[in-house]
């Protein structure tokens, strides 16, 4: 069916083109020039502007009627102010849209070409220009002041007794975290993320595990480097030179005296060590375990080791983590509650969201709360809302028993970006408390 | 200057030419090819958006393994969206628009034999071609083309493990854009130098046609902002390849904690939008310049408020450098900083409003010849106003929070920058076709093309505002799983249908364009009865533009229907009459 529509359109356009072609040929026969617009054309094109105006304005009004209630009423306090601001702005914009476009279209029709008329020579008029510089300036000043007022109210600091909820994003889902009974979030670090600790909550055990893991990696890389054939051969040559120096092996830069001194002063123990090492190298080379690596690959591995060591240092620094407010730092996170796929909020309370991201940029978009904030790896962000309508009330308002508030990702983050969502339930404080107490406690799950 | 005694072989005339008129044609035709590519891509992903999950044989034909069973693959969808944006913004509307019309009109309208440096001009074109080739090639590498959106925000674009499109495709994207910037810088420097140095006798800056003013400011914007994009790209390449951490910090991906710390993805956004916002005006100003010229000529009236028009071009150009962070209200940026950018952004509305009202006053009591170029220019004024108005909503940070990255934004910038700039480009092509090819385009087909284009343009992008207000995020492969968007789902097929019809209507233009190059009516020297210098050159192209001495200018470009003269136009080369007050 759609293909048919497509086909018809194609044929239609081709037909129109052909028609025009014929028209052109006939015009050429009559000696018509392309730049001479005939009276009939002028009339038609002028009138088409008026037709277009009615179509554009008509469909605009239709769209406002049909889609004007674009979202349900705001479910957050600041959202009501935002909606009001949006209302005023939209009203202003739509009035200007109608008036200015109407002027454009009507003038295009009204002042269409007439060979008996000469245009009005009107190069400038300072008064007019001042008017349409000053009036927009005033209107914009009002918009700016009103807008910034709303902005500063919604972005001000959250109050101390607000409920803090952490939203954590990764490809491609969300996790919410609540502080638990001690009202404090356990601190987190991305180095400590494991399948059992998806948020990277800092624990003594986690740090030890991460250190072990990184030591393993370093050791493994070191092992790989120690069996590199080229470097082994080079080392072998050097050892042999040290043990059995001869003039052939050129130490021109150093001078013989120094070298001989070094040789003579070499202790027996040291010499034994060198010989043992030499034997070990021989063994390795003969065993067939030695591998060949390009210089670049060797250097890349060295570089990786350097990076891993730096990384290890950073994890070690976590151990110096300060103990806060009488709580054992390692236990603050133990009662944190972690939820997936659905999270709850109490009604009528200020909620401060803290956003974190594990991998790439995401954006926490909650259209029903008029809230949006990017989540940035390495940079926690915040946004506060105050809930005003419970999920149940909203269902009644909308007469839709399936309605749910939703959190979605609004910054392209990969292939499943379009399906990264979480349901939000707003309920009374009692219901919320009951729900929260049933949620998984971080420590409990781990054990 | 210029290479008047240049020996003409096929290669020196059509390929490595130094002649600005030929380079202009090269830019135009390359841009048309890229435009076909960019628009076709949008149709492919609009099929998925209009009828999600439905099978279209055409998709499998074009995309093969990217559309198994005729349903677009998710990664391919993102790649198409990304490359569509890149091609349209940079290759069509930046290089295509400036490259074509700055090259054609700057020497012709200022009375110069050629550009200041024909060689740099040639290089500029060929860098552009290479960057096009690299970009097209990136579609075919393993993992597919860059897919992180045309803004390629890291860490997504920095980490090959984050998505398939962040592998080789992204590297090529960065390479292509670097070449593109080289092309753009060479071109822009040339335009600036030419305009400053090579104006003919009598042509003071205050007598320049507004086209030249627009190209001039555009070139300055390009020279100042594109290098910042290059630095952003270089830092990104280093993060990708050399293990630096300019944009990366605290990332755990693919089961592994990366060792990068201390960088900030937000830094990239600051750098990117420092180009990205002036870029909007790099695209828009030439279109406004073209429409100023076309509207004045076809209204048979001087452009109203010439000085205000010049002033507003400069004001827009200046302000465009201090508004970039309005793209970043929800990045966690300090809210006070956000306030500053709200203020500067809304300031831009003032010179924009002045321009719009001046256009309308130019139409008022004019004697309007409704040529296809004029229709497109009037259309431009309409889309410029419509798109600009929704910008007022987006500039208000409190409102941006609710519509940021939704279809509202897509609708807004496609109207104000996409449609307006494309309309300007079409207006330019219809108006100066005879200067480019010595022949006329068919007027009737121009009418058909215009009405299809404007109706479909509004039909595609106007409803998007409502989709966005309802909360539908952009760059979603499929939003049918969100019940709250049910109220606007029925708009998607309508939008897609308009897009398909609108794209097909461009075939009329294609036909008209290529047919007229060879078979169009032979042009007369000054078909539109215009004042500016390009219409004093012969129809046939010659090196050096004017066969004899360079013309001398005695008046501004806008003496239309001057009551002191009988004709309704007065060439700029016409000396002042006794007692006539010059401009």
DSSP secondary structure of B405-427: TBHHHHHHHIIIIIIHHHHHHHH
> How far off is chain A from B3, nearest CA to CA, in Å?
33
Taking alpha carbons only, the member of A408, A394, A389, A387 closest to residue A341 is A408
Residue A372 has pLDDT above 80, yes or no: yes
> How far off is chain B from A107, nearest CA to CA, in Å?
6
B555 touches chain A (CB under 8 A): no
Percent of chain A whose predicted confidence (pLDDT) is above 90: 54
Give chain A's largest Cα–Cα span: 118
Query: What gap in Å lies between CA B150 and CA A69, rounded to an integer?
Result: 31
Predicted local confidence at residue B2, as pLDDT = 43
Parallel/antiparallel/unpaired status of strands A342-346 and A421-427: parallel
Q: Band of the pLDDT at A317, cuts 50, 70, 90?
A: confident
Predicted local confidence at residue A272, as pLDDT = 86
Question: Which of the pair, A32 or B95, is modelled with greater confidence?
Answer: B95
Query: What gap in Å lies between CA B429 and CA B514, rounded to an integer?
Result: 12
Question: Which of the pair, A297 or A103, is modelled with greater confidence?
Answer: A103
Contact A114, B427 (CB under 8 A): no
> How far off is chain B from A284, nearest CA to CA, in Å?
32
H helices of A68-183, in order, are: 77-110, 126-155
Predicted local confidence at residue A447, as pLDDT = 44
Predicted local confidence at residue A314, as pLDDT = 85
φ and ψ of A388, to 5 deg: -125, -20
A198, exposed or middle or buried, with CB in 10 Å at 0-12, 13-18, 19+?
middle
The SS3 of residue B540 is: coil
B357 touches chain A (CB under 8 A): yes
Mean pLDDT of chain B: 93
Q: What is the pLDDT of residues B66-114, one digit of tens each?
A: 888 889 999 999 999 999 999 999 999 999 999 999 999 999 999 999 9
Q: How far is CA A88 from the centre of its chain?
A: 31
Q: What is the pLDDT of residues A152-168, one digit of tens each?
A: 999 999 998 899 999 99
Contacts of A314 in chain B (CB under 8 A): 261
Residue B4 has pLDDT above 70, yes or no: no
Predicted local confidence at residue B581, as pLDDT = 80
Domain limits of chain A?
37-155, 163-200+333-446, 208-318
Q: Which residue of B has its CA nearest to A85?
A: B399
Domain limits of chain B?
19-250+264-536
Task: Please name the residues between 23 and 82 in chain B that touch chain A, using a CB distance below 8 Å.
Answer: 51, 74-75, 78
Cross-chain Cβ contact B363/A417 below 8 Å? no
In the structure encoding, which two tokens stand for residue A436, read together?
A: 């929260």
Q: Band of the pLDDT at B3, cuts 50, 70, 90?
A: very low
Query: Apex CA B564: angle with CA B560 and CA B570, to 5°?
Result: 35
Predicted local confidence at residue A322, as pLDDT = 57
Residue A141 has pLDDT above 80, yes or no: yes
Closest CB from A49, A56, A117 relative to B458: A56
Work out the average pLDDT over A29-58.
Answer: 91
Taking alpha carbons only, the member of B322, B116, B292 closest to residue B225 is B322
Best residue in B55, B259, B407 for a mutation probing chain A (most A CBs within 10 Å): B259
Closest CB from B347, B442, B500 relative to A6: B500
> How far off is chain B from A436, nearest CA to CA, in Å?
26
Query: What gap in Å lies between CA B150 and CA B133, rounded to an integer?
Result: 17
> How far off is chain B from A315, nearest CA to CA, in Å?
11
Query: What gap in Å lies between CA B147 and CA A185, rounded to an integer?
Result: 36
Query: What gap in Å lies between CA B100 and CA B287, rounded to an integer?
Result: 12
Query: What gap in Å lies between CA A199 and CA A205, rounded to an integer?
Result: 15
Contacts of B390 in chain A (CB under 8 A): 93
- Who's near B291: CB < 8 A, 6+ residues apart? B359, B376, B377, B380, B381, B423, B424, B427
B560 touches chain A (CB under 8 A): yes
Work out the average pLDDT over B198-204.
Answer: 95
Best residue in B240, B443, B451, B583 for a mutation probing chain A (most A CBs within 10 Å): B443
φ and ψ of B206, to 5 deg: -80, -5
Q: Which residue of B has its CA nearest to A48?
A: B451
Residue B498 has pLDDT above 90, yes or no: yes
Residue B471 has pLDDT above 90, yes or no: yes
Q: Is B523 left (phi over 0), alpha (psi -120 to 50) or beta?
A: beta
- Who's near A69: CB < 8 A, 6+ residues apart? none
The SS3 of residue B432 is: helix
Contact A211, A316 (CB under 8 A): yes
DSSP A8-46: HHHHHHHHHHHHHHHHHHHHHHTT--TT---HHHHHHHH
Residue B237 has pLDDT above 60, yes or no: yes
Cross-chain Cβ contact B156/A361 below 8 Å? yes
Closest CB from B350, B476, B508 relative to A136: B350
Is 1.20.210.10 the CATH classification of the domain at B19-250+264-536?
yes
> How far off is chain B from A366, nearest CA to CA, in Å?
8
Query: What gap in Å lies between CA B432 and CA B209, rounded to an integer?
Result: 15
Query: What gap in Å lies between CA A126 and CA A189, rounded to an integer?
Result: 63
Closest CB from B402, B405, B441 relative to A370: B402
Best residue in A418, A421, A422, A423 for a mutation probing chain B (most B CBs within 10 Å): A418
Q: What is the pLDDT of residues A232-246, one digit of tens each?
A: 888 888 888 888 776
Count of CB atoms situated within 10 Å of the CB of B493? 16
Return the minimum-mean-pLDDT range out of A248-262, A308-322, B233-247, B567-581: A248-262
Query: What gap in Å lies between CA B67 and CA B59, rounded to an integer?
Result: 6
Residue A202 has pLDDT above 50, yes or no: yes
The SS3 of residue A136 is: helix
- Who's near A65: CB < 8 A, 6+ residues apart? none
B137 touches chain A (CB under 8 A): no
Q: Given this structure, which CATH class describes domain A163-200+333-446?
A: mainly beta
Predicted local confidence at residue B1, as pLDDT = 41
Q: Tell me how far CA of residue B232 lies from CA of A15, A411, B341, B500, in angstroms.
A: 49, 20, 21, 36
Q: Which residue of A has its CA nearest to B443?
A: A34
Residue B337 has pLDDT above 90, yes or no: yes
Contacts of B394 in chain A (CB under 8 A): none
Closest CB from A60, A101, A137 relative to B382: A101
The SS3 of residue B448 is: helix
Return the minimum-mean-pLDDT range out of A392-406, B62-76, B263-277: B62-76
DSSP bridge partners of A76: A387
Contacts of B332 in chain A (CB under 8 A): 355, 373-374, 376, 379, 381-382
Cross-chain Cβ contact A5/B497 below 8 Å? yes
Best residue in B402, B508, B524 for a mutation probing chain A (most A CBs within 10 Å): B402
Predicted local confidence at residue B59, as pLDDT = 84
B206 touches chain A (CB under 8 A): no
Query: What gap in Å lies between CA B138 and CA B115, rounded to an integer?
Result: 33
Q: What was the ipTM of the complex prediction?
A: 0.94
Query: What gap in Å lies between CA B335 and CA B355, rounded to an integer?
Result: 31
Best residue in B46, B66, B310, B396 for a mutation probing chain A (most A CBs within 10 Å): B396
Residue A13 has pLDDT above 80, yes or no: no
Predicted local confidence at residue A255, as pLDDT = 47
Best residue in A92, A94, A367 for a mutation probing chain B (most B CBs within 10 Å): A367
Percent of chain B whose predicted confidence (pLDDT) is above 70: 99
Residue B125 has pLDDT above 90, yes or no: yes
Q: What is the pLDDT of residues B379-416, one digit of tens each?
A: 999 999 999 999 999 999 999 999 999 999 999 999 99
Cross-chain Cβ contact A101/B511 below 8 Å? no
Contacts of A24 in chain B (CB under 8 A): 442, 444-445, 521
Query: What gap in Å lies between CA B336 and CA B494, rounded to an integer?
Result: 41
Cross-chain Cβ contact A372/B401 below 8 Å? yes
């Amino acid at each position: 069916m759609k293909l048919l529509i497509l086909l018809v359109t194609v044929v239609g356009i081709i037909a129109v083109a052909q028609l025009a072609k014929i028209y052109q040929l006939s015009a050429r026969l009559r000696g018509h020039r392309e730049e001479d617009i005939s009276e009939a054309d002028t009339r038609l094109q002028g009138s088409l502007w008026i037709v277009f105006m009615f179509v554009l304005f008509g469909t605009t009004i239709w769209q406002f009627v049909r889609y004007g209630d674009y979202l349900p009423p705001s479910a957050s306090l600041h959202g009501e102010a935002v909606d009001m601001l949006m209302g005023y702005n939209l009203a202003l914009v739509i009035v200007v849209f109608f008036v200015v476009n109407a002027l454009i279209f009507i003038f295009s029709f009204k002042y269409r070409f007439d060979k008996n008329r000469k245009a009005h020579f009107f190069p400038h008029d300072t008064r007019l220009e001042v008017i349409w510089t000053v009036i927009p300036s005033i209107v914009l000043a009002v918009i700016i002041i009103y807008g910034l007022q709303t902005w500063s109210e919604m972005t001000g600091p959250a109050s101390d007794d607000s409920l803090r909820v952490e939203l954590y994003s990764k490809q491609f889902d969300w996790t919410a975290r609540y502080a638990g009974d001690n009202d404090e979030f356990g601190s987190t670090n991305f180095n400590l993320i494991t399948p059992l600790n998806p948020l990277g909550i800092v624990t003594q055990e986690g740090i030890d595990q991460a250190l072990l893991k990184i030591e393993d990696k370093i050791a493994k890389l070191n092992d790989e480097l120690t069996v590199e054939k080229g470097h082994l051969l080079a080392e072998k040559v050097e050892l042999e030179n040290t043990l059995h120096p001869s003039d052939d092996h050129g130490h021109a830069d150093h001078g013989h005296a120094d070298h001989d001194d070094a040789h003579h002063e070499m202790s027996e123990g040291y010499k034994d060590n060198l010989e043992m090492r030499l034997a070990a190298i021989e063994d390795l080379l003969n065993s067939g375990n030695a591998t060949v690596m390009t210089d670049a690959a060797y250097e890349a591995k060295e570089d990786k080791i350097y990076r891993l060591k730096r990384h290890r240092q950073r994890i070690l620094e976590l151990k110096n983590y300060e103990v806060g407010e009488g709580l054992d730092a390692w236990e603050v996170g133990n009662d944190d509650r972690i939820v997936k796929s659905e999270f709850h909020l109490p009604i009528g309370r200020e909620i401060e969201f803290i956003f974190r991201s594990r991998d790439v940029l995401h954006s926490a978009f909650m259209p029903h709360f008029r809230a949006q904030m990017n989540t940035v790896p390495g940079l926690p962000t915040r946004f506060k809302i105050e809930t005003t309508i419970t999920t149940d009330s909203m269902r009644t308002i909308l007469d839709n028993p399936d309605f749910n508030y939703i959190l979605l990702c609004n910054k392209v983050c990969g292939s499943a970006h379009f399906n990264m969502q979480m349901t939000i339930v707003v309920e009374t404080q009692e219901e919320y408390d009951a729900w929260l107490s049933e949620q998984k406690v971080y420590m409990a799950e781990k054990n | 200057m210029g290479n008047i005694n240049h020996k003409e072989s096929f290669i020196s005339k059509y390929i490595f030419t130094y002649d600005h008129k030929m380079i202009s044609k090269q830019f135009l035709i390359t841009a048309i090819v890229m435009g076909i590519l960019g628009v076709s891509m949008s149709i492919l992903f609009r099929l998925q958006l209009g009828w999600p999950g439905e099978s279209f044989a055409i998709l499998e034909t074009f995309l093969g393994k990217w559309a198994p069973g005729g349903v677009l693959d998710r990664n391919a969808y993102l790649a198409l969206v990304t490359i569509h944006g890149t091609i349209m913004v940079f290759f069509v509307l930046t290089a295509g628009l400036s490259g074509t019309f700055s090259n054609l009109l700057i020497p012709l309208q200022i009375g110069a034999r050629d550009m200041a440096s024909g060689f740099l001009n040639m290089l500029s074109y060929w860098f552009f071609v290479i960057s096009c080739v690299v970009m097209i090639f990136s579609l075919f590498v393993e993992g597919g083309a860059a897919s992180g959106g045309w803004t390629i925000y890291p860490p997504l674009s920095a980490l090959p493990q984050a998505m398939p499109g962040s592998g080789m495709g992204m590297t090529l994207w960065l390479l292509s854009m670097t070449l593109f910037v080289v092309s753009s810088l060479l071109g822009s420097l040339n335009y600036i130098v030419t305009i400053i140095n090579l104006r003919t006798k009598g042509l003071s800056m205050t007598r320049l046609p507004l086209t030249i003013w627009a190209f001039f400011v555009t070139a300055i914007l390009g020279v100042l902002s594109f290098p910042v994009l290059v630095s952003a790209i270089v830092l990104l390449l280093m993060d990708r390849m050399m293990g630096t951490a300019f944009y990366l910090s605290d990332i755990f991906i693919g089961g592994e904690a990366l060792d990068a710390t201390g960088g900030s993805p937000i830094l990239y956004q600051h750098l990117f939008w420092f180009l990205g916002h002036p870029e909007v005006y790099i695209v828009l100003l030439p279109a406004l310049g073209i429409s100023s010229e076309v509207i004045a000529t076809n209204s048979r009236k001087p452009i109203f408020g010439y000085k205000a028009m010049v002033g507003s071009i400069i004001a827009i150009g200046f302000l465009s450098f201090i508004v970039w962070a309005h793209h970043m209200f929800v990045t966690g940026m300090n809210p006070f900083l956000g306030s500053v950018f709200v203020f500067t952004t809304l300031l831009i509305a003032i010179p924009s409003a002045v321009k719009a009202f001046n256009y309308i006053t130019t139409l008022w009591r004019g004697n309007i010849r409704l040529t296809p170029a004029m229709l497109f220019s009037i259309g431009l004024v309409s889309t410029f106003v419509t798109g600009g108005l929704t910008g007022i909503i987006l500039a208000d940070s409190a409102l941006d929070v609710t519509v940021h990255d939704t279809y509202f934004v897509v609708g807004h910038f496609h109207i104000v920058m996409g449609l307006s700039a494309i309309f300007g480009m079409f207006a330019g092509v219809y108006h100066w076709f005879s200067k480019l090819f010595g022949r006329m385009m068919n007027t009737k087909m121009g009418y058909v093309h215009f009405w299809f284009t404007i109706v479909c343009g509004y039909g595609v992008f106007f409803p998007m505002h409502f989709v966005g207000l309802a909360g539908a995020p952009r760059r979603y492969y499929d939003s049918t799983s969100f019940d709250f968007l049910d109220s606007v789902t029925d708009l998607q097929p309508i939008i897609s249908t308009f897009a398909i019809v609108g794209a097909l209507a461009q075939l009329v233009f294609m036909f008209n364009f290529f047919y007229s190059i060879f078979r169009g009516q032979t042009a007369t020297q000054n078909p539109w009865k215009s004042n500016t210098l390009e219409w004093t050159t012969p129809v046939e192209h010659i090196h050096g533009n004017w066969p004899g001495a360079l013309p001398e200018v005695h008046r501004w470009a806008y003496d239309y229907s001057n009551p002191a003269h009988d004709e309704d136009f007065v060439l700029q080369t016409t000396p002042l009459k006794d007692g006539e007050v010059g401009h």
